Amino acid sequence: MRLFSRKKKSETDSALPCAPPPVTLIAKEKRYARELFIALPEGSQAVTENAAETAPAFDHLLLTEPGSPSTGKYVLVAEENCRASESAVAFYSLLKDREEDVVLFPIRRSAHFRENPLLLNHVFDENISPFSFGCAVNISLYNKILKFSGDTVQPFSFAAASLGESCFFTEQAPFFRNAPARSADMQELTSLLGFFTECKASLNTERYRWAFDFICGRAIGAYAFLARQKDRAALRELDEFLRTENMAVRVAAMRRAPFRFIETLQKNNFENSLSALPGILCALQKDKNL
């Protein structure tokens, strides 16, 4: 693990016990990393590519490269197109007094919460997507997620909702997603299915069904996106991947796809057609609204 910090420690500082950083923020997109790190409380861990280049501007933070162990009390992942929020300082201040598994916040400026539930499995249902929320995950839950995935799952809130218990809502957000959610690609589906395969034995019936339905919906969106792009090679790759990795998801996606457009594509050797178009457009619109 490579750490970067310009701050020099005195002999007195060295003798003091090291308190864990209050927050670990993993910035997936380098171009907005500096903007996201500005509001972090002193001593926080900031994870970004080329941490050595960024470190001189942030003497008060612990800069590390991706793949470094996360050590903060809470861990956040800022995925692509996330920009800093004006309430970031207030959000990080709030975390000091929280002990829940997950602290949820709106990832879109238009998102609003219902009554604050005590249990995380009461948050998500068929009408509420993980893409509506960002989350700060307690380090103990984060380490549990890593045992099943080996890396941060996309979207991060999906993994938190699958395994977490207690949660807290806040309208204050450290950052917002500055673009609509996109349809799933092979990287996301590989991440989701890998995580689900490893952890499904530990899920109760309700959570298993919710996780399965979410992955199935993302698979349908992936078929639709590739069909709209008329990328037959990628469609074949996706279909074979699901056949190999999780046949149940593939069959469910075929049956649940609007107007059963996936079956239409399969019958036509993934050649796009007017008969498949209504289902493709319907699925893409659903992804757009996530």
Query: What are the chain's domains?
Result: 3-177 (3.90.550), 186-288 (no CATH)
What CA–CA distance (Å, rounded) separates 268 from 35?
Answer: 48
Residues 2-55 have pLDDT tens digits of 444 444 444 444 444 455 568 999 999 889 999 999 999 999 999 999 899 999
Residue with the bigger pLDDT between 117 and 285: it is 285
Sign of CA dihedral 81, 289, 165, 143: negative
Are the CB atoms for 280 and 227 separated by under 8 Å? yes
What CA–CA distance (Å, rounded) separates 85 from 39?
Answer: 9
What amino acid occupies position 279? Answer: G
What is the full DSSP assignment across 158-212?
HHHHHH--BEEE-S--SEEE-S------HHHHHHHHHHHHHHGGGS-HHHHHHHH
Residues 207-227 have pLDDT tens digits of 999 899 999 999 999 999 999
Sign of CA dihedral 91, 92, 98, 104: positive
Rounded to two decimals, what is the model's pTM? 0.86
3-class state of residue 240 by DSSP: helix
What amino acid occupies position 38? Answer: I
What CA–CA distance (Å, rounded) separates 258 from 288?
Answer: 15
What amino acid occupies position 6? Answer: R
Sign of CA dihedral 128, 129, 133, 136: positive
- In terms of DSSP bridges, do strands 102-106 and 167-169 run parallel, antiparallel, or are they unpaired? parallel
What CA–CA distance (Å, rounded) separates 117 from 167?
Answer: 7
Residues 190-209 have pLDDT tens digits of 999 999 999 999 999 989 99
